[in-house]
Amino acid sequence: MTQSWLAPDHPDAVAGGEPRLPKPPGVFRRFWARHPRLTDGLIAGVYGVPTIVSVIITALQYGLPLWLTLLQLAVVLGAAAAMLLVRRTRPWLVLALGWLACLVSAASGSLEILAILIALYALAVYASTRAAWIGFGVSVAVGAMGSYLATWLRDTLIVEPFDFEPLGSSIAFGLFMLIATLIGVTVGNRRRYLDALIARAHDLARERDQQAELAAAQERSRIAREMHDIVSHGLTVMITLAEGSAATAGRDPERAADAMRHVADAGRDALGEMRRMLGVLTGPAGAAADRSPQPDVAAVPALVDGFREAGLPVRLTTSGAAVTEHTLQLTVYRVVQEGLTNALRHATGAQHVDVRIERRDDDVVVTVEDDARHTAPQMVGAGRGLAGLRERVALYGGTVEAEPLPGGGWRLRVTLHAASDRIEEDA
């Protein structure tokens, strides 16, 4: 048997934020619940001591056979020991010993049903309602059998201590057993109901913690994507411009100085985006900090101009209705940024880099295509860009296609399902 959530020695709260349970009412109730062995010992004593004394007195007073007296004492001691040790864990064993005590006591002309009553209560509380009613039915049959057995043996034994009528005794014993069973069923059902409520509360607390962990993991993934896009784009542009400046410093100092100014501009832009993100992460909740908005589709032309200044021959083409949903605009911007960053890294000697943003009914298709041979990349990435891009696109149920072109070059095509954006436009 598992320990009940209602047990006073069960922890009120555990790590992970599970709810703290209120103390059960009643000083005496809490005392007995804190000392289950003492409770079982008192019950076993209340049953065993008077019953043993009664058996001995009856045997001495009416001269019962020694073997019958010893058998009754052994059964009573066994039932008392079972009440002390296994009343909560194996109530069926206690009930079986109670049946045996009832049948053995019939030989002396009296019936011992106290052990059966205690066992029926324990069966209803610590097992189940179904088990309690099964035990009640069998106990009624055992009580009736013991009553008729005592009547049948009255002429066999030397003395009949108690003279009773079998049918009436069976009905009376059945009523006592019914009362014990009903009390046990009521207490047991209440106990199981409260255990189920408390177990449900713990399940909800664990589910809350799991949802919080999943939300934290998703947030970490989102932050990682944003950090990659900001750092990768900024550093790629800066590295390319710095290398171009170093190559032209000797023959064209003015052009090299202009390239370094572009390096500074790219660094400031990246630093500004980084500060905005860190401000969101570390700023106090509800603080009205002055932060610039996330980039959108309107910022794509400026993004393309920055890559042109870095030496990438980019051509931007847009068609179809405008994209209005804010998170979708950010996704489109990040797709173009990732595609151009990869082209700047790997498309050495590209003559044309085409960026196309097309609105097709409920879809937005973003294509970044170059004509360079990707055979000797100058900078090798870790592959996080496309992985993060797929995570972004998956939020819209879209697809990502990154593949080489037959005649040389590379194509990145992203399809975003923008039904929600269309609903916003219609509204």
Q: Is residue 288's pLDDT more than 50?
A: no
Give the DSSP H or E segment for 365.
strand 363-370
97 contacts 78 by C-beta, under 8 angstroms: yes
Rg of the chain on CA atoms, in Å: 42
How confident is the model over 256-276, as pLDDT tens digits? Answer: 777 787 777 777 777 777 776
38-59 pLDDT per residue, tens: 888 888 888 888 888 888 887 7
Q: Residue 237 has what pLDDT?
A: 72
The alpha carbon of residue 142 and the mean position of all alpha carbons in its chain are separated, in whole angstroms, by 48
Cα–Cα nearest to 297, from 276, 274, 326: 326
> 380 vs 368, which has greater pLDDT?
368
- Asked if the model's pLDDT at residue 383 lies above 80, the reply is no
Q: What's the rounded Cα separation, in Å, for the pair 332 and 394?
A: 13
**Crossing angle for the helix pair 384-394 and 326-346, to the nearest 10 degrees:** 160
Tell me how far apart the 2 most distant CA atoms of the chain are, in Å.
134
| Cβ 303 vs Cβ 333: under 8 Å | yes
Give strand pairing partners of 364. Answer: 359, 416
pLDDT tops 90 at residue 9: no
Tell me the average pLDDT across 119-135. Answer: 92
Which domains are assigned to the chain?
27-209 (no CATH), 293-427 (3.30.565.10)
The pLDDT, as a whole number, for residue 193 is 87
pLDDT 10s digits, 336-353: 888 888 888 777 777 888
Cα 36–Cα 41–Cα 43 angle in degrees, nearest 5: 95
Mean pLDDT confidence for 144-153: 81
How many Cα atoms sit within 13 Å of 169 on the Cβ side?
22
Partner residues linked to 358 by β-bridges: 319, 365
**Can you tell me the mean pLDDT for 154-169?**
60
Confidence of residue 289 (pLDDT cuts 50, 70, 90): very low
CA 395, distance to chain mean position in Å, is: 24
Share of the chain above pLDDT 90, in %: 15
* Confidence band of 155 (pLDDT split at 50, 70, 90): low
pLDDT for res 378: 47
Closest to 339 (Cα-Cα) out of 270, 413, 406: 413
**Span 301-317, pLDDT tens digits:** 988 888 888 778 899 99
- Strand 363-370 versus strand 399-404 pairing type: unpaired
- Beta carbons within 8 Å of 164's beta carbon, 6+ residues apart: 147, 150
Q: Which residues of 280-295 are buried (b: 16+ CB within 10 A; e: fewer)?
A: eeeeeeeeeeeeeebb
Helix (H) or strand (E) segment spanning residue 367: strand 363-370
Which range among 232-236, 290-294, 390-394 has the greatest average pLDDT?
Answer: 390-394
Q: What is the DSSP string of 148-215?
A: HHHHHTTTTSS--S----HHHHHHHHHHHHHHHHHHHHHHHHHHHHHHHHHHHHHHHHHHHHHHHHHH
The closest alpha carbon to 120, from 43, 176, 166, 193, belongs to 176
Q: Torsion-angle region of residue 372: left (phi > 0), alpha (psi -120 to 50) or beta?
A: beta
Q: Is the per-residue pLDDT at 178 higher than 50? A: yes
310 vs 330: CA distance, rounded Å: 23
3-state secondary structure 90-138: CHHHHHHHHHHHHHHHHCCCCCCCHHHHHHHHHHHHHCCHHHHHHHHHH
Its pTM stands at: 0.52
Please give the C-alpha separations between residue 394 and each of 294, 309, 388, in angstroms, as whole numbers.
20, 32, 10
